[in-house]
Amino acid sequence: MRRTGLWANLATLANGAVGVGAVLYVLAGNQLWAMLLIVSGIGFDGLDGWLHRRSGLPGTQFGRVADSLSDAVTFGIAPATLLAYHPYHAALWAPYSEGSLLAAAVVGVLALTRLAWFTVRGYAHPDFLGAPTPQNALGVVVLVLVFDVPAFLGTQPAAVLLGAVGLSLLMVVPIPFPKMRKGTWLRWPMAATGVALVTTLLPLQFGPDRGTALYDLALLSAAVATVGIAAYYIVGPWTVPRALAAPTPGVP
C-alpha cells in the first residue's frame, strides 16, 4: 500500500478539500473557521510530501499538477476570498470594497502564477525561488487575525490589504526561501508557528471576551505566530546556501 503512493494522493486531495471548505466558510460568514481550514491545509500539504518520500516512488507530472491544483484552492483562492469578503465590521470595510476586490485578485493571480511556474520548472530547485504559497496564506491569515477578525490591534482594512499585496509580491520575486526539509534549522520554529496558529484559532471559535483566559491564550499564540512568520521572511533567505539557490543543472 505504501508503495502505491495512495496515501500521498489522499493527503493531496484532503488539502484541496479543506481549501474548498475554507472558501465556503468565508461565504457563509465564518472567517475564523475558514482560517483554521487554511492552516490545516498546510498540514495536509506537508503530509503528502512526507508520504510520497516514504513511498520511495519518483515524482510524477501528475503528482505535481494535483498538488499545485490543491494548493491553488487552499493557498490561493481561499486567502483571496478572505480579502474580498468581509461580513464583520461592514461599515469600516465599505470604503474599501473596490480595494478588497483588487487585493484579492492580486493575491489570487500571483499565487496561481507562482504555482504554475513551480509545476513546470520550480520543483527542480533545491529551495524555493520566491516565497511559497502556503507561507503567503499564513501571512494573510495573520493579517486578518490582527487587523480584521478578531482584530487584536483594531480593525484596519488598509493594513490588511496593503500587507497582503506586499506579501504576495514576494511569491514572484527571485529571492530564495528554504524548504522545510530535515536539517533546516527553521523547520521546528515554523512547526511551532503552525501550532501557534491552531492554538490561536481554536479558542476564538468560542467567541471569548477580551480579558478572558481563552482570549489571552489566542492573543499570545497569535503573537508567537506573527514572530515565526516574520522570521521566515526575514531570516529564511539568509539560510539558503548561495550555491544551492540555482536550479539543478540539466533539469528543466
Per residue in 193-229, pLDDT (tens digit) is: 999 999 999 999 999 999 999 999 999 999 999 999 9
How large is the average pLDDT for residues 245-251?
41
HSE-up of 173 (CA within 13 Å, CB side)? 11
The CA–CA distances, whole Å, from 195 to 106, 192, 208, 231 equal 28, 5, 20, 16
CA distance 2 to 56: 9
In sequence order, what DSSP letters do the residues of the chain get, joined into one string? Answer: -GGGTHHHHHHHHHHHHHHHHHHHHHHTT-HHHHHHHHHHHHHHHHHHHHHHHHHTPPP-HHHHHHHHHHHHIIIIIHHHHHHH---SSHHHHGGGHHHHHHHHHHHHHHHHHHHHHHHHTGGGSSSEES--HHHHHHHHHHHHHHHTSS-TT---HHHHHHHHHHHHHTTSSS-EE----TT-TTHHHHHHHHHHHHHHHHHHTT-PPTTSHHHHHHHHHHHHHHHHHHHHHHHGGGGS-GGGSSPPTT--
Distance CA 221, CA 196 (A): 5
pLDDT for position 159: 97
Least confident of 127-131, 164-168, 196-200, 245-249: 245-249
Peptide bond into 150 cis (omega under 30): yes
Q: How confident is the model at residue 127 (pLDDT cuts 50, 70, 90)?
A: confident
Residue 251, in any domain of the structure = no
* Residues 209, 195: Cα–Cα separation, whole Å: 22
Cα–Cα distance, 15 to 204 (Å, whole number):
23
- The answer to whether the pTM exceeds 0.85 is yes
Task: Flag whether 138 is in a domain.
Answer: yes
pLDDT in tens, 69-111: 999 999 999 999 999 999 888 899 999 999 999 999 999 999 9
Residue 147 has pLDDT above 50, yes or no: yes
Domain contains 217: yes
- Count of CB atoms situated within 10 Å of the CB of 4: 10
Q: What is the mean pLDDT of the chain?
A: 88
Instruction: Report how many domains make up the chain.
Output: 1
| Domain limits for position 232 | 2-244
At 1 the pLDDT is 41
User: 177: which strand partners?
Assistant: 128
* pLDDT given for residue 2 in this prediction: 47
In a domain, 252, yes or no: no
